[in-house]
Chain A
Amino acid sequence: MQGHEGEMYKKLKIGTDIGKLKILPLNGGKLYPSRYAGGGIEFPLPTDESSHRVELETWEDDYSYYFNKALRHHIRRSSVWERGSGTSYVRHPGLHCDEAGWVNIMEFLHHGWLFDHENVRLEDDGYIAPEFREERVNTMIKTMWSEFQKKNKVRIRFLCIVLD
């Protein structure tokens, strides 16, 4: 399986030689630069004394559903139809990705359908200031870790450059 995943990495033209590519650990990590999407978030690993179970708020659980749906069903489509307010359907642009399904994280964080959805957070108007990006990235990491703890499922993979 390692070899097969390695093939995917090679397909990405990242245009840098500053570090190697790595999948973000499920419990999170330190991200850089902080002005890009915050400093990251790390949840404690389980110990003999405590499972350190992370529970999601209702709105975070909603986010998780939309993250999952976008990465599975919106990728490589020019447009998608999703339910808007009431019973009407609204057309949204799809998500670009490479042949293995990797989506540029900045495009994902700007994917309007995900974060403008009225059922997620009314106060989030989709404006992408750094603090919004930080919250969104941290929410993605939190949902990934919580769902793994609860269901043994990994629904999001983050591809990162190791800065060392």
Chain B
Amino acid sequence: MGVGDDIHRLIAQNREVFLAPIAVRSPSGYSARGDDFRLDYDKICHPITTKLADEFHFCCHMTEIKNVNGIIKKGLRPGGHKGGRAQVFLNPYAPWDEHYKAILGGALILSHLGQARIVLAFSVHRLIGLGVMFNASCQRGTFRSLK
């Protein structure tokens, strides 16, 4: 009996699907050095569609208050002004939204270091014009932007 026959017999007997694992990946959170990002954006993300923009209107980025001046001056950058990341984390729901609570277990008013946080809202329609791309972070209901 060959391997193929064997697996068909097992599936027929047990009514189960067998999977042969071949590769693993992280859904998001990759590091980058400056503009040197090692993956292909075209393979891991896609442009924002008007359908997505109409559905969410705004996406939110939570950060510590001390970072706001830098963001206003230099823009929202992956990894902050030090860099080191390829993506910016955005959430389609505000922290006071029930969906957000369901995703992250409640509004995070303080960071893990105990610093007060602030919510920055970005128009998804405007992000289309800026050519921002998204990929799923696999955190239920959230996505990350990549540029």
Q: Check A99 against B40 for contact (C-beta < 8 Å).
A: yes
Interface contacts (Cβ under 8 Å), in number, total 138
How far is the CB of B142 from the nearest CB of chain A, in Å?
Answer: 9
Contact with A along B16-42 (1 / 0, CB 8 A): 111111111111011100000011101
Residues of A within 8 A of B25 (CB): 71, 97, 100-103, 156-157, 159
Interface residues of A in 78-96 (CB under 8 A from B): none
Q: Check A103 against B23 for contact (C-beta < 8 Å).
A: yes
| Chief secondary structure at chain B's binding surface | mixed
One of A7, A31, A77, A164 near B11 (C-beta < 8 A)? A164
Q: At the interface, yes or no: A22 with Cβ under 8 Å from chain B?
A: yes
Q: Check B29 against A102 for contact (C-beta < 8 Å).
A: no
* Contact status of A24 and B19, CB under 8 A, knowing A18-B4, A72-B26, A75-B30: yes
* Contact status of A1 and B20, CB under 8 A, knowing A75-B38, A99-B40, A101-B26: no
How far is the CB of A91 from the nearest CB of chain B, in Å?
Answer: 17
Q: Check B30 against A158 for contact (C-beta < 8 Å).
A: no
Q: Check B21 against A101 for contact (C-beta < 8 Å).
A: no
Q: At the interface, yes or no: B130 with Cβ under 8 Å from chain A?
A: no
Q: Check B135 against A160 for contact (C-beta < 8 Å).
A: no
Q: At the interface, yes or no: B44 with Cβ under 8 Å from chain A?
A: yes
Q: Check B39 against A101 for contact (C-beta < 8 Å).
A: yes
* Shortest Cβ distance from A94 into B: residue: B38
One of B3, B24, B103 near A102 (C-beta < 8 A)? B24
Q: Check B38 against A76 for contact (C-beta < 8 Å).
A: yes
Q: Check A152 against B26 for contact (C-beta < 8 Å).
A: no
Which are the 4 A-B pairs with shortest beta-carbon distances? A154-B138, A76-B38, A160-B19, A99-B40
18 pairs, CB–CB < 8 Å, chain A vs chain B = A18-B4, A29-B17, A30-B16, A32-B18, A40-B19, A71-B25, A97-B39, A100-B39, A100-B43, A102-B23, A104-B23, A137-B21, A151-B139, A152-B140, A156-B24, A158-B21, A159-B25, A164-B11
Other A-B contacts than A104-B22, A154-B27, 19 sampled, CB-CB below 8 A, are A1-B136, A4-B45, A11-B43, A14-B22, A32-B18, A72-B31, A73-B30, A75-B38, A75-B39, A97-B25, A99-B43, A100-B39, A101-B30, A152-B105, A158-B19, A160-B20, A162-B17, A162-B18, A164-B11
Interface residues of A (CB under 8 A from B): 1, 3-4, 7-8, 11-12, 14, 18-19, 22, 24, 29-33, 36-37, 40, 68, 71-73, 75-77, 97-105, 108, 137, 140, 151-164
